[in-house]
């Protein structure tokens, strides 16, 4: 099972982008993006790679699990830092 559609929608919403702007960024049609988000279609691998590279995510993050807002914005986990 791929989480690609879920994840691109989560990225788009977190980055406050509408479908049209997100689609234009990657040379897609808005309808194609909607189909990806709803799981009605799968993107070509080159599109998936472009999206992963643009948002500095691994393909594994984009495809195999639900990503978190922390991963989208690359926040560090400050709770795991050593206390002084």
DSSP state of 16: T
Mean pLDDT of the chain: 92
Q: pLDDT category, 71, cuts 50, 70, 90? A: very high
Domain with 41 in it: 4-80
User: Which domain CATH number covers 49?
Assistant: 1.10.260.40
* Predicted TM-score of the model (pTM): 0.86
Q: pLDDT category, 80, cuts 50, 70, 90? A: low
Total domains present in the chain:
1
């Amino acid at each position: 099972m791929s989480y690609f559609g879920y994840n691109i929608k989560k990225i788009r919403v977190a980055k406050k982008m509408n479908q049209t702007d997100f689609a234009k960024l990657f040379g897609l049609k808005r309808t194609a993006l909607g189909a990806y988000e709803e799981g009605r279609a799968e993107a070509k691998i080159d599109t998936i790679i472009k999206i992963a590279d643009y948002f500095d995510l691994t393909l594994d993050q984009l495809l195999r699990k639900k990503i978190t807002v922390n991963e989208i914005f690359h926040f560090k986990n400050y709770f795991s830092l050593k206390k002084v």
